[in-house]
Copies of this chain bind each other. A is one copy, B any other.
Amino acid sequence: MTRLFGGIEAGGTKFVCAVGSGPDDLRAESRLATTSPAETIGRAIEFFQAQRDKLGPLAAVGIASFGPIDPAPGSPTFGQITSTPKPGWANTDFGGAVGRALGVPIGFDTDVNVAALGEWRWGAGRGVENLVYLTIGTGIGGGGLVNGKLMHGLVHPEMGHIRIPHDWKLDPYAGHCPFHGDCFEGLASGPAMAKRWKRPAEKLPADHPAWALEAHYLALALVNLICTLSPERIILGGGVISNDRLLPMVRAGVQQLLNNYVQSPALLVSIDEYIVAPGLGNRSGVLGAIALAEQCS
């Protein structure tokens, strides 16, 4: 009999909850607005309890959470959202609450790590052991696998906050990161584009110079990720990437910046299969949460 898992993609504005065993077997799904922790987590638990009564027991629940979080099993604060600025959510024992209510093992990780896991399990990351998933939207975040295991470390990666070169003559916009000004997220997130160009990214015409600048910042950041992690594939998700002309410009920018230094056919020849869009579209997170549940059950 197929084992069933629960998955939660917990974002700052909405929660997506699902029950199933994979992309071709999603039995139920629900979207909830993110309000207070008690209400939102409570409604997610009710959803899983109702589905369990209808579909049968869940083997585990995986949670892809906005952060910062503590994703370290064994840590006294494992499963918690820690120092988030989101009102009411700091120090919320999210994983603990779900685990106690449902009596199942809980997988708990960052939204981007879980999306990386989903892409690795069923999407554009299949077949590689070293993978980066980067999302460029309201914020910029990255996660991934090294040697087939999700990256954690001291806390968890915060790839959106790396520093990249910023040519102030070319781009006088100071950046909007409240912590770092012109870090990668400060220069290249959706809100940075909107503030720089005085309209939302999705309203910028496809041939607007905004996109060449955006591709340049993305290429700089990807070069840094390539030189640091040597991933076998990079998956770019998030709202800003939905412009179809962006990915080819990013690939060309990466090749130009690397300047043949890294002698790998993946970069020199088949970069179209190296820097790619998510294979699961906007379902990487919720399916990744199911994959995370599968891993921890």
* A225 in complex: contacting residue of B155, B179, B228, B260, CB < 8 Å: B228
* A157 in complex: contacting residue of B147, B223, B228, CB < 8 Å: B228
Which B residue sits closest to A168, measured CB to CB? B167
Which B residue sits closest to A142, measured CB to CB? B228
The complex places the Cα of A264 from the Cα of B155 at a distance, in Å, of 7
* A165 in complex: contacting residue of B161, B166, B230, CB < 8 Å: B166
- Residues B158 and A261 in contact, CB atoms below 8 Å apart: yes
Interface flags for A174-214 (1: CB within 8 Å of B; 0: not) read 00000110000000000000000000000000000000000
- Residues A154 and B227 in contact, CB atoms below 8 Å apart: no
Query: Which residues of B have CB within 8 Å of A166?
Result: 165
A165-B164, A223-B162 known; A157+B82 contact, CB < 8 A: no
| Oligomer: number of copies | 2
- Residues B163 and A257 in contact, CB atoms below 8 Å apart: yes
- Residues B231 and A162 in contact, CB atoms below 8 Å apart: no
- Residues A231 and B158 in contact, CB atoms below 8 Å apart: no
Interface flags for A73-102 (1: CB within 8 Å of B; 0: not) read 000000000110000000000000000000
Query: Which residues of B have CB within 8 Å of A160?
Result: 227
Query: Which residues of B have CB within 8 Å of A149?
Result: 146-147, 149
A130 at the interface (CB under 8 A from B): yes
- Residues A180 and B146 in contact, CB atoms below 8 Å apart: no
Task: For the complex, count residues of A whose C-beta is within 8 A of B.
Answer: 47
Interface flags for A245-262 (1: CB within 8 Å of B; 0: not) read 000000000000111111
A43 at the interface (CB under 8 A from B): no
Which B residue sits closest to A177, measured CB to CB? B261
A151 at the interface (CB under 8 A from B): yes
- Residues A158 and B257 in contact, CB atoms below 8 Å apart: no
* A153 in complex: contacting residue of B130, B154, B164, B259, CB < 8 Å: B130
Query: Which residues of B have CB within 8 Å of A180?
Result: 257, 259, 261
Query: Which residues of B have CB within 8 Å of A165?
Result: 163-166
Query: Which residues of B have CB within 8 Å of A31?
Result: none
- Residues A262 and B163 in contact, CB atoms below 8 Å apart: no
- Residues A230 and B264 in contact, CB atoms below 8 Å apart: no
A147-B146, A180-B261 known; A220+B163 contact, CB < 8 A: yes
- Residues A230 and B153 in contact, CB atoms below 8 Å apart: yes
- Residues B263 and A151 in contact, CB atoms below 8 Å apart: no
The complex places the Cα of A229 from the Cα of B150 at a distance, in Å, of 11
Which A residues lie at the B interface, using CB under 8 A? 68, 82-83, 130, 142, 146-147, 149, 151-166, 179-180, 220, 223-232, 257-264, 266-267
Q: Which 8 A-B pairs have CB atoms at the shortest separation, nearest pair first?
A: A153-B230, A130-B153, A146-B146, A162-B224, A179-B261, A83-B263, A158-B227, A154-B230
